[in-house]
Copies of this chain bind each other. A is one copy, B any other.
């Protein structure tokens, strides 16, 4: 079955300590078993025309969509949503069953 992914890309507000946000997210996923894996990254190319000002990517992977629903409803997630929302200037969120075309060897 396809994995379900929760993709978040953001531009943080000026003055936000990104490391603290990342730590908060790491703590979050460590507390919620429904999250199968978590990865994140910061754009290093910095081409404004392509990034549209977005700088960070966060991807959470779930075995199935139901696990994503469990994650969203989890008290730790609800609690984290507040400070996270305050920290961001803009955001795009996409939730999708992942189609793997050329799987890792």
> Complex formed: what's the CA distance from A88 to B26 in Å?
34
> Complex formed: what's the CA distance from A99 to B42 in Å?
9
A residues with a Cβ closer than 8 A to B are 5, 7, 9, 26, 29-30, 35-45, 47, 50-52, 54-55, 57, 61, 65, 91-105
Contact A30 B96 (CB under 8 A): no
> Complex formed: what's the CA distance from A21 to B54 in Å?
24
Residues of B within 8 A of A101 (CB): 26, 29, 37-40
Contact B5 A37 (CB under 8 A): no
Residues of B within 8 A of A43 (CB): 94-96
Residues of B within 8 A of A65 (CB): 44
